[in-house]
Amino acid sequence: MKADEAGQFEFQFAARDLDQMRAKLWCGKVTTARWLLCAAAGELRRVDRKQHSRRVVAKINRLAQMIIEFDRYLEINQSSMPNYAKRSLQGLPVSSSRAQSSANALVNRRMNKRRQMRWSPQGAQRVLQTRVAVLDGRLQDGRFSLAA
């Protein structure tokens, strides 16, 4: 087997793990997804970088770094990851795009340079957090804390 073929095989294995990881995340199985993510990272670590060009090695290193960062994100947010498959079966929305577009429209309108009172990006984020806390009842319960 040539070096190119071996490299493609290794990358295909990592891609298969990543596809399975995405399916596990859809079903809310974060621990299993993180395990698959680590397996893909392990496969990338085993790639013989001497057999590839600098450009390919740079891409391998960037992908490995992105996997590490995504794993850290999943670790931090594991408890709040939704089970999209369950929500979909129950007829519940699986996207927050309507809320996000409304928030973006509000911020863009307020951030317009021609307005007399303009928000700073940090101020806009705080106002949006407060509005969300009011809508979901966290502000009344006293459980609201600003994100850093």
Handedness of CA 50, 55, 61, 64 (dihedral sign): negative
Binned at pLDDT 50, 70 and 90, residue 2 comes out as very low
Instruction: Judge if 107 and 55 occupy the same domain.
Output: no
- Quote the pLDDT of residue 42: 83
Please state the domain count of the chain. 2
For residue 148, being part of any structural domain is answered with: no
End-to-end CA distance of the chain: 51
d(CA 19, CA 40): 10
For 43-52, what is each residue's pLDDT tens digit?
888 888 788 8
In this structure, are 17 and 64 located in the same domain? Answer: yes
Mean pLDDT of the chain: 77
Specify whether 135 is located in the same domain as 101: yes
Tell which residue, 41, 46, 38, 39, has the closest CA to residue 7. 46
| 73: its two tokens | 């994100």
Residue pLDDT, tens place only, 22-69: 889 989 999 999 998 888 888 888 888 788 888 888 888 888 899 889
Q: What predicted TM-score, i.e. pTM, was given to this entire model?
A: 0.56
Specify the amino acid at residue 61.
N
Contact 140, 133 (CB under 8 A): no
